[in-house]
Amino acid sequence: MTPDLIAAARDRLAGHARVTPLLSSPFLDEIAGRRVLVKAECLQHTGSFKYRGARSAISALDPETRARGICAASSGNHAQGIALAAREMGVPAVILMPSDAPQIKLDNTRAYGAEIVTYDRATQDRDALMLELEAERGMTLVRPYDDPQVIAGQGTCGLEIAEQAQAMGVERAEVLVCCGGGGLTSGIAVALSQAAPDFTVRPVEPEGFDDTRRSQASGQREINPAQSGSLCDAILTPSPGKLTFPLIQEHCGPGLVISDSEALQAMALAMLRLKLVIEPGGAAALAAALFRGNDLSEETVIVTASGGNCDARLLARALELLQK
């Protein structure tokens, strides 16, 4: 995984992925006690950064392989990214999704034109089902993070961060990234290692699901004791990826954690102050910037607002925090 691969992904994504804005609010700066810049990936196609990696991976395939179709397993945002990118490129996509995924993510994935196969998280083995799909249909599996071209696609977000922040006069910063399997985190970290070496990437995870932070500390891939139980569903993964973890070890500073209630508060403040809708997992980095300032050291912090695919009920719950 090298900066070259990210530069090539950027060329393939040009004119397709959105260059999302880097936003700010003096009200958030005041809460954080430092300058906070927000990379609004919730405004990316399909409502999350996942479109970048999906389009990067599908566009990197040779045409013959691509034409046989794409399959993927995902609880949501990766599924939507794959579905849209596949449709744009005119190839079929089959997505394996847990039957208890948020309804909006199931509906959206279907609306983007993918075929959905659901499975029961408790009783069925996702990986075995996926191998069956690959073998039966001859499709190419695109993994959500352990794929060099997916990581390269997510890394294009890092190139934009470097350019946008530097244009604002930022020379040093901590870059907080909402971290599940580590595709976005490692992609941004590799991109910045060349494009902005004085920016330090730090993963942010929900309390109790800090596999990456613990893995950074122990030097080996740690596994979370539970696989569900946080509002931040988009970034719950059992452990950092095989490909992503060594990149995180090499390039990232120590991880941070936030609570569900801090994620909800960050969602509420994003609506009020940035005019952005962010889902809980996509609000983790902003929550760390706002509420975990004691763990930060730079005067400028850049956060990814990684996704915004959120049920109305949960948005309403976040808004209640503003009405007290």
Nearest to 183 by CA among 208, 148, 210: 148
Nearer to its own copies, 180 or 282 (CB): 282
Q: Which of 16, 18, 110, 172 binds its own copies (CB under 8 A)?
A: 18
State how far Cα 266 lies from the chain centre. 17
The site that binds its own copies (CB under 8 A) totals a number of residues, namely 32
Nearest to 236 by CA among 183, 156, 313, 181: 181
Q: Which of 1, 28, 32, 42 binds its own copies (CB under 8 A)?
A: 42
Q: Does 315 bind its own copies (CB under 8 A)?
A: yes
Q: Smallest distance from the beta carbon of 313 to its own copies, in angstroms?
A: 6
Nearer to its own copies, 223 or 322 (CB): 322
Angstrom distance (rounded) from CA 95 to CA 70:
8
Rg (the chain; Cα; Å): 18
The one-letter amino acid at 38: V
Q: Smallest distance from the beta carbon of 312 to its own copies, in angstroms?
A: 4
Nearer to its own copies, 23 or 36 (CB): 23
Q: Which of 6, 10, 13, 20 binds its own copies (CB under 8 A)?
A: 20
Q: Distances from the Cα of 316 to the Cαs of 228, 231, 265, 268, 320, in angstroms?
A: 22, 14, 12, 9, 6
Q: Smallest distance from the beta carbon of 107 to its own copies, in angstroms?
A: 10
Q: Smallest distance from the beta carbon of 45 to its own copies, in angstroms?
A: 9
Is the separation of the CB atoms in 7 and 260 below 8 Å?
no
Q: Which of 72, 86, 278, 296 binds its own copies (CB under 8 A)?
A: 278
Piece of the chain touching its own copies by CB under 8 A; list 20-28, 93-101, 136-144, 253-261: 20-28
Q: How far apart are the first and last CA of the chain?
A: 48
∠ Cα 145 240 243 (to 5°) = 55
Q: Does 103 bind its own copies (CB under 8 A)?
A: no
Nearer to its own copies, 165 or 189 (CB): 165
State how far Cα 87 lies from the chain centre. 21
Nearer to its own copies, 61 or 315 (CB): 315
Q: Does 316 bind its own copies (CB under 8 A)?
A: yes
Cβ-count burial of 7 within 10 angstroms (0-12 exposed, 13-18 middle, 19+ buried)? middle
Nearer to its own copies, 125 or 313 (CB): 313
Q: Smallest distance from the beta carbon of 20 to its own copies, in angstroms?
A: 7
State how far Cα 128 lies from the chain centre. 25
The one-letter amino acid at 2: T
Number of neighbours of residue 161 by Cβ within 10 angstroms: 28
Q: Which of 276, 290, 296, 301 binds its own copies (CB under 8 A)?
A: 276
The tokens describing 268, both together, are 């509420």
Q: Does 122 bind its own copies (CB under 8 A)?
A: no
Q: Does 303 bind its own copies (CB under 8 A)?
A: no
Q: Does 90 bind its own copies (CB under 8 A)?
A: no
Please state the φ and ψ torsions of residue 14, each to the nearest 5 degrees: -60, 130
Nearer to its own copies, 240 or 308 (CB): 308
Kindly list the residues in this chain that would bind its own copies in the complex (CB under 8 A): 18-21, 23, 26-27, 40, 42-43, 47, 104, 108, 111-112, 268, 271-272, 274-278, 308, 312-313, 315-316, 319-320, 322-323
